[in-house]
Structure 1
Amino acid sequence: MKDKLPKGWEWKKLEEVGEVITGNTPPKSVVKYYLNGNIPFVKPPNLGNGIVIQTQEYVTEEALTKSRLIPKNSVMVCCIGSLGKVGIAGTDLITNQQINSINFNNKIVNYRFGYYYALTLEKYMLENANQAVVSIINKSTFSKYNFPLPPLSEQNQIVSVLDKTFEKLDQTIALVEGNIQKLKQLNESVLDEMFEGKHANWKTENLKKLTLKIGSGSTPTGGQNSYKESGISLIRSLNVHDWGFKEKNLAFIDEVQAKKLSNVEIENNDILLNITGASVARCCIVPENILPARVNQHVSILRIKKELLLPKFLHYSLISPFYKNQLLYNSSGGATREALSKNMLEKFEINYPTIIEQQRIVTYLDQTTEKSQKLTQYYQNKLEALKRLKNSVLDSAFKGELRRAKVIPITQPIIDPYFARTKSFNAKKKADKQAMVIALAIEAHEKNGKSLYRTKGEKTVEVIEKHIDLDFGRVAKKMAAGPAAFEHLVKVVEPLAKEKKWFSVQEVKGDNYDGHKYIKAENFNAFMMRCVLDLRPKLQEIRRVIDLFANMKTTHEAEVVATIYSGWNNLIIRKTQIDDEAIVTEARENWHDSKLKIERQEFFNAIEWLKNNNLIPQGNGREVI
């Protein structure tokens, strides 16, 4: 810890550059010390985020007779338990006995220089702590820690550089941590959308009827001292996590111990569920590579009837907020500790569809989970790199390498592209939505024994975009085939669908004209699951309109209806006087020469059709020009 210092610097002990004060807790039995107090009472959880002003607990002036006041700008360091957590007193306050504070002598130490140096102590403290159950650095040892002391003017310069650098680093770290949290929320949101409530066309059964086995094990006699370095895996609650099994600290037992737990021998694809303690309701599928294995008394095996449920479907169900909250509520039912009994699990109900539908759901969730986990790992790596950079900057500072620096070049934090609402991001999301409507239309036509062609698909998209008031990023024009944005469709939407393997376009040669038919691709079913989730608030109405178009006998009928709808919508946008004659004039005479070949009565019939099917335009979206 005592490296060679730059010229003009010298090593001092902490007790030589300030007063070291160990905190203490005013007696909790004296209510008046804590009633309506205004002096912050700091504990280790309050440290770690710079300046501390507000806390969960406050004490009164009278409590100061039983505690030590920590002056504003003192640097607080946790020396018991969470070693090395640091904070600055933003006001006069008190701390508990786990925290030592340094009230630096401001004539020789800039307190922020002292704060930055305190951030480097964690590693050293962990290496030298009293190896008790709870790590401890006593006041005497802490006071003797070395402190590098440059001239005050040089400290001020170093602090100026570190303040600017750490402001940028902390902003970037906060952004990355925010992205990790957003991904977690996104995962929960996807699962909640899938499993929340009961689906009318799904069955509901309790786990007793859906499983072959529900049971937990026990810990071998002798506890941890009886574990082996290798052998048969003994799974404990610390190994079971919602998004995967963790092999760290996996215990092992021998054949003799395992034989006593033969009734909880794990099979491939068993579901593991934590049933006691703080990790209650955490759940995962057992990985094949850790078999053979047993579980202890804190973990339950759920062995499902595979003709009724897919293991992954049950796993995704149980980690969804909807079911997780039910499990947590059940586990807290008045017991002294959180626990799920076998009886509770047997009665626990699961709503589930057919195996085929389960497979579609699992495929979709596997894809979203894989992407989310890759992004989460990317952000975790980025976070670790930023923290290493922080340590590197501090190391340079206290080696005197920032003596003449004015600023350290750190890339300014930016909104991460994955979450940024940039123009290109929005364009892709809008194209996604249009592709979803096409996918739903492909399925609707297939149910009618038909295929969806590009022109009819574009008419369906045009009406839905304006009727539902969506924005697909397209700008429709008055074309011979009615309102259409074929350039956007052909250059943006269809290539995206092909790249993602949702659907593709097949050219079909005809006697009089060539057509373009949509063909399902390998990821179509998983994409359909996304469609259902993303469009859910308006899905019923979208499907109603799609079905209306799917039931039309000819593409010509769809062209006339879509043209009348858009012409009518144009008049509303322009705020002109509207009657049936005006609508037909806009959709026929003022549209395209080819429309003049169609009898006017067909357009009047289309107006009546729109009215009868509750498809009255509201002036949404852009005018077709």
Structure 2
Amino acid sequence: MSWQQTTLGEIADIVSGSTPKSSVPRYWDGAVAWATPTDLSRLDGKHLYKTDRTITEAGLNECSARLLPPGSVLFSSRAPIGLVAINTTPMATNQGFKSFVPRPELNADYLYWWLRANRRQLEDLGNGATFKEVSKAIVSRVKFPLPPLTEQRRIAAILDKADAILRKREQALTLADDFLRSVFLEMFGDPGENPMNWDREPLSLQAEVKIGFPFKSAEYVEEGIRLCRGANTMPDRLEWSDTRYWPVSDAARFAEYALVSGDIILALDRPWISSGLKVAEVVQADLPALLVQRVARIRSSVPAEKPFVFQCLRHPSFWSYCNPTETTIPHISPVELKNYPMIKPPRELVAAFGMIAAKQSVLRQKVEQDAKDARQLFQSLSQRAFAGDL
């Protein structure tokens, strides 16, 4: 690759953000768009059209923020590091940004995708005790490959198309989940309001509720059986990028904590994140795995009833019931989990829903594989693009 090697500071003006005094009303709710990392975290796509909050011209002039022209690349430099967007209208940002105003030799879309592809590297550059932040000085020194503008545009166009394919696959997953939720509500009604006046009974009478074992971290190994922790439990899925292992030779001793396909896993500590309640269903790809303390396993003894139980626990009425206790760490207690008043429809109706869910699961697995293939394709294209191999 014979591309020019430069730095971010040499090919873009790097602009830090700022916040006007919140105690001065005349600085707020004006005509100037004012971005925060939250705006970027909610973004579906790469373009930021508007912001949740606005400031006035007086607010902009009072602080050290600068109005960024359209086509700038916004980059969150703390809490968290690495969110990226391209603004379509003039806007300022808060102090959590180091934004880029590209110079003529730089294409904004190319920079956007490069920042996305190198997020981990940029996160590692952060410093700070309370929270990590990347300074303007550090950002300006980051090495950057700069091909000719025509090549930049070609690379950006390829990654745009690959990203569009990936988004369509992920949207198909969302539609599949929405379909099953709709069928559930049509058949059983809102489980919190219970419009069909079903009887109720504690969750522990419809399924076994098991709390995990306090495996000692000093005995973890480099390879072995996965340990399913709260950190691995995400809304609707288990995530294994941060995995701890237990020795295979010792696994038989903890057979009662082994997971099987169809188990429902609920994080009891810090159970809520921005994308929802940390409750997921175990699939075959998650196995083998053992359950760790402060994580609950909900297991229905009747396979056809598992989808019904899972949908009940995914519903907002369950979230409202299990409000975290007022402690340092938000927590759902095992007692309130076991006592959750589940609706009790006729078993034949629950079984009928189970059959619909089983058919939908086969379709979802195919869509999920398509999405996985699209993610791998996109990652491969990104790596090749910035190595000059496309």
One-letter amino acid matched to 1:25:
T
Kept after mapping to 2: 8 A contact 1:240/1:246: yes
In the aligned structure 2, how far is the partner of 1:118 from the partner of 1:361?
Answer: 44
Determine the structure 1 residue equivalent to 2:370.
378
One-letter amino acid matched to 1:235:
C
Q: Mapping of 1:357-506 within 5 angstroms? A: 361-386=353-378, 388-389=380-381, 392=384, 396=388
Relative to the length of structure 1, the TM-score reads 0.49
- 2:201 pairs with one of 205, 212, 218: 205
Pick closer, same or farther for the CA change 1:124–1:201 going to 2, 3 Å: closer
Q: Mapping of 1:62-461 within 5 angstroms? A: 62-64=58-60, 65-72=62-69, 73-80=71-78, 82-105=80-103, 109-110=104-105, 113-124=107-118, 126-127=120-121, 129-130=124-125, 136-147=133-144, 155=149, 157-158=150-151, 161=154, 168=161, 171-196=164-189, 204-210=200-206, 214-217=209-212, 219=214, 224=217, 227-229=220-222, 234-240=227-233, 249-252=242-245, 265=257, 271-276=264-269, 277-278=271-272, 280=277, 282-284=279-281, 290=288, 293-297=290-294, 299-302=295-298, 306=301, 310-313=302-305, 315-320=306-311, 324-332=315-323, 335=326, 337=330, 339-354=332-347, 361-386=353-378, 388-389=380-381, 392=384, 396=388
Kept after mapping to 2: 8 A contact 1:285/1:312: no
Pick closer, same or farther for the CA change 1:311–1:346 going to 2, 3 Å: farther
C-alpha deviation, 1:227, in angstroms: 3.6
Kept after mapping to 2: 8 A contact 1:214/1:342: no
- 2:55 pairs with one of 54, 59, 72: 59
C-alpha deviation, 1:55, in angstroms: 0.7
Pick closer, same or farther for the CA change 1:247–1:130 going to 2, 3 Å: closer
In the aligned structure 1, how far is the partner of 2:230 from the partner of 2:188?
Answer: 25
One-letter amino acid matched to 1:184:
D
Pick closer, same or farther for the CA change 1:122–1:368 going to 2, 3 Å: closer
In the aligned structure 1, how far is the partner of 2:146 from the partner of 2:340?
Answer: 67
One-letter amino acid matched to 1:320:
Q
More off after superposition, 121-130 vs 51-60: 121-130
In the aligned structure 2, how far is the partner of 1:163 from the partner of 1:252?
Answer: 40
More helix by share: 1
SS in 2 for 1:37: strand
Pick closer, same or farther for the CA change 1:52–1:318 going to 2, 3 Å: same
In the aligned structure 1, how far is the partner of 2:26 from the partner of 2:180?
Answer: 46
In the aligned structure 1, how far is the partner of 2:152 from the partner of 2:288?
Answer: 51
In the aligned structure 2, how far is the partner of 1:300 from the partner of 1:45?
Answer: 30
One-letter amino acid matched to 1:93:
M
Kept after mapping to 2: 8 A contact 1:83/1:122: no
Output one character per residue of 1:520-578: Cα deviation in whole Å (capped at 9) or x when no partner. xxxxxxxxxxxxxxxxxxxxxxxxxxxxxxxxxxxxxxxxxxxxxxxxxxxxxxxxxxx
More strand by share: 2
Pick closer, same or farther for the CA change 1:40–1:235 going to 2, 3 Å: same
In the aligned structure 2, how far is the partner of 1:96 from the partner of 1:381?
Answer: 37
Q: Which runs of 5+ in 2 are unaligned?
A: none
C-alpha deviation, 1:296, in angstroms: 0.7
Output one character per residue of 1:344-363: Cα deviation in whole Å (capped at 9) or x when no partner. 53242232434x76555434
Which is greater in Rg?
A: 1
Pick closer, same or farther for the CA change 1:342–1:52 going to 2, 3 Å: same
Alpha carbon RMSD of aligned pairs, Å?
4.4
Alignment length, in residue pairs? 370
Kept after mapping to 2: 8 A contact 1:116/1:394: no
One-letter amino acid matched to 2:125:
N
SS in 1 for 2:134: coil
Pick closer, same or farther for the CA change 1:226–1:383 going to 2, 3 Å: closer
One-letter amino acid matched to 1:130:
L
In the aligned structure 1, how far is the partner of 2:160 from the partner of 2:179?
Answer: 28
Determine the structure 2 residue equivalent to 1:20.
14
One-letter amino acid matched to 1:380:
K
Larger RCO (alpha carbons 8 Å, 6+ apart): 2
Output one character per residue of 1:46-100: Cα deviation in whole Å (capped at 9) or x when no partner. 4474443411121222222222214304333333355444333434322233321
- 2:35 pairs with one of 25, 42, 64: 42
In the aligned structure 2, how far is the partner of 1:285 from the partner of 1:374?
Answer: 17
Pick closer, same or farther for the CA change 1:214–1:353 going to 2, 3 Å: same
Relative to the length of structure 2, the TM-score reads 0.73
